[in-house]
Structure 1
Amino acid sequence: MILNEIFAKLLDTYSHQGWWPITGYGGTNPTKTGSTKGYHPGDYSFPRDSAEQFEIIVGAVLTQNTSWPQVETSINNLKQKIELTPEKLLDFDENEFKLAIKPSGYFNQKYDYLRNVSQFYISLDNNTPARKDLLEVRGIGPETCDSILLYAYGEREFVVDAYTRRIFSHLGLVNEKDSYNKIKKFFEDNFDGDVNDFQEYHALIVEHAKNHYLKKPYGENDNVLNNFKVK
């Protein structure tokens, strides 16, 4: 299966990524582009408690349309002011809240989104959300939803981001303009991996794209995966 072969090649090239990073964890991944603390390569025990689970959810919302270092700064800003729990976020002063998350951009929208997801998280009462219910939360689109389910809840959901579209359309395996759900289904039907592999695949795609797919023409010098191009 070609998706399994591509996964194996990426893993051999970049090794385990240790994504989703946890800000309070001291682990690093020296092979990553722009490495910061919080990574846990090969350790799939995260999140280890509800605090880390909720931090992943907050990070998944904040990382919309921005990069991880900005999100990390925002999360650390919040942690300096309050305990990062849904209850504390809902009680946090609006202006201070927005100032704390400003590095992640779109802080007015993300303020509302984080309040929405905090209320939803409380309503779950420690249960795993259904994908359809999570998608009904304002501010939670398919990519954010699947990131939350995959990394915070350990559900086997494939995350499709812009990098996935760039890489796999370049290889001729998907159409870049295909719907999110169509590409998601393609991976879930054709990649024979468990939830840990799903986490790694998404993280490896991000790392590979940072090396070869940031500038057009995308993948022109992709010496790692060009052998997999569909003729």
Structure 2
Amino acid sequence: MNFERLYDVLKATYGNLGKWWPGDKEEILITAVLTQSTNWKNVEYAMENIYKLTNKERLLDFLYKLPKDELANLIKPAGFFNIKAQRLKNLLEFFKKYNFDLDTISREENLRDKLLKIKGIGKETADSILLYVFEKPVFVVDAYTKRILNRIYNLKLEDYDEIQELFYKYYPKDVQLYQEFHGLIVEHAKRYCRKKPLCDSCFFHKCAYFTSPFLTY
């Protein structure tokens, strides 16, 4: 299957996912960090702990003022809670410079470079924030993306930028397209293309992984 058909095939199967990443902009800022190296259910548990103490309207300011050890205790379900608490503090410190005004931050030049300078904010997290919070046309590359490229197309790519450029080459830079495409990839990886794939049930019967016993990922 040609790479430029991947989006259409996934959408024909899973339907219209829309934005996919749940929550408002402030929630997405927080969950983009919490979801690092954990599953979404654990992120939800951590957010539930936070909402026992505050509401969505004052989320960023509340977490900014909250002592780091108390924040770490709230987000324990998300794992690596001390590390993530510090990363959240680093991110919130950056946003505090703009009084948490997301519209002002969105107009900043070289925003991606500025996010990447924040300790603990890597390319995947920065691009998730850019795409889902600030609605910039950047494609998010995650472990699911690498897995599907390897299994369906036998593309053993590891470099983040190289994978991202592949999507830019074949798909127009469009916010709604990238938001939904990312979600479709995640959906397929969770349903069929798992660590232990369900190849017999998957509709990609002629993918590289299914036809070769030597591919692993």
1:159 paired with 2:140, answer yes
8 Å contact kept, 2:68–2:89: no
Percent identical: 37
1:103 shift after superposition: 0.5
Instruction: Name the SS for the 1:66 alignment partner.
Output: coil
Residue equivalent to 2:9: 9
Q: Match for 1:107: what amino acid?
A: F
Residue equivalent to 2:26: 54
In the alignment, structure 1 segments of 5+ residues that lack a partner are: 23-51
Residue equivalent to 2:215: none
Q: Match for 2:148: what amino acid?
A: I
Q: Deviations for 1:7-62, whole angstroms, at most 9, x for unmatched residues?
A: 1111111112241112xxxxxxxxxxxxxxxxxxxxxxxxxxxxx21211101000
In 2, Cα distance between equivalents of 1:6 and 1:106? 34
Distance 1:142 1:55, change over 3 A: same
8 Å contact kept, 2:33–2:84: yes
Aligned residue runs from structure 1 range 126-137, under 5 A = 126-128=104-106, 129=108, 130-137=111-118
In 2, Cα distance between equivalents of 1:221 and 1:138? 43
In 1, Cα distance between equivalents of 2:4 and 2:134? 23
The total of aligned residue pairs comes to 200
Q: Deviations for 1:50-99, whole angstroms, at most 9, x for unmatched residues?
A: xx212111010000011111111211211211344332212113333212
1:173 shift after superposition: 5.5
* Structure in which a larger fraction of residues adopt helix: 2
TM-score when scaled to structure 2? 0.83
TM-score when scaled to structure 1? 0.78
8 Å contact kept, 2:151–2:207: no
Aligned residue runs from structure 1 range 200-219, under 5 A = 200-216=180-196, 218=197
RMSD across aligned positions (CA): 2.2
1:199 paired with 2:202, answer no
8 Å contact kept, 1:131–1:145: yes
Instruction: Name the SS for the 2:141 alignment partner.
Output: coil
In the alignment, structure 2 segments of 5+ residues that lack a partner are: 212-217
